[in-house]
């Protein structure tokens, strides 16, 4: 059963619960409500968002806001993340772009490439164990730890339907899932065990994941839902 909750310009529909402890393949879609090529990619991400083996994250970038519609979930921080990937040789700054485990970049509206990249990837490999105790995240030790960034990601697992009133998608209502609302750098990991306290979320209804990522725009070597 789908429950509709209307608030502001977006409708929210409840989604099915997910496995909170699976080690998932990390699927990042860089998209914008102001991009006419993005709705198919959004639909592909929405379709896999309930899979327990997938962490489906939708990052709304800001560089298409100039086309007449300001993305309601956009953040310069998300645009910077895509730029970091581009500088590391993962595709280019364009939408829609899908990046899997921080390594493979494909055009997000190409369904065959989208499915193939995810099917080939599997879960992140080569990183430390991630454990959770209450609000504390513990990153395990490793003999040959490559310097990595620890990211806390908070995302909305529900459907959020956004009516677009200007720009390239004017007149459409776009459904989103896995919308990233917070991207927080907890700190760095260099091989020794380390712990981080997680801040309280800024809004209710969000789910949380932790990513261990080598360098800026490098491979994601470990991930866990909290």
Handedness of CA 177, 155, 26, 53 (dihedral sign): negative
Within the chain, which residues score under 50 in pLDDT? Answer: 1-9, 13-21
- Contact of 120 with 114, CB cutoff 8 Å: no
Comparing CA positions, the residue from 149, 154, 159, 133 lying closest to residue 4 is 159
With b for 16 or more beta-carbon neighbours within 10 A and e for fewer, the 184-222 pattern comes to eebeebebeebebebeeeeeeebbbbbbbbbeebbbbbb
Domain count along the chain:
1
Specify the pTM. Answer: 0.91
**What pLDDT is attached to residue 12?**
53
Radius of gyration of the chain (CA): 17
CA 44 to CA 9: how far, in whole Å?
Answer: 23
**What pLDDT is attached to residue 148?**
94
The residue written with tokens 């091989």 in the block is 191
**What pLDDT is attached to residue 11?**
61
Tell me which residue range forms the domain holding 153. Answer: 4-13+20-225
- Contact of 59 with 81, CB cutoff 8 Å: yes
**Burial class for 16, CB neighbours closer than 10 Å (0-12, 13-18, 19+):** exposed
How do residues 81-109 score in pLDDT, each as one tens digit? 999 999 998 888 999 999 999 999 999 99
């Amino acid at each position: 059963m789908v429950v509709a909750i209307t608030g502001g310009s977006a409708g929210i529909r409840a989604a099915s619960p997910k496995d909170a402890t699976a080690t998932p393949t990390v699927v990042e879609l860089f998209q914008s409500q102001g991009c006419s090529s993005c709705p198919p990619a959004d639909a592909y991400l929405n379709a896999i968002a309930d899979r327990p083996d997938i962490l489906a994250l939708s990052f709304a970038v800001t560089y298409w806001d100039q086309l007449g519609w300001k993305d309601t979930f956009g953040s310069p921080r998300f645009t910077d993340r895509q730029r970091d990937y581009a500088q590391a040789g993962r595709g280019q700054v364009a939408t829609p772009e899908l990046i899997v485990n921080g390594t493979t970049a494909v055009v997000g509206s190409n369904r065959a490439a989208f499915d193939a990249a995810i099917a080939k990837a599997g879960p992140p490999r080569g990183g430390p164990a991630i454990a959770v105790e209450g609000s504390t995240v513990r990153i395990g030790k490793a003999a040959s730890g490559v310097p990595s960034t620890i990211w806390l990601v908070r995302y909305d697992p529900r459907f959020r339907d956004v009516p677009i009133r200007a720009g390239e998608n004017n007149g459409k209502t776009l459904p989103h899932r896995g919308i990233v609302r917070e991207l927080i750098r907890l700190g760095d990991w260099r091989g020794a065990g380390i712990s981080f306290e997680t801040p309280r979320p800024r809004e209710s209804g969000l789910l949380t994941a932790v990513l261990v990522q080598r360098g800026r725009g490098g491979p994601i070597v470990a991930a866990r839902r909290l």
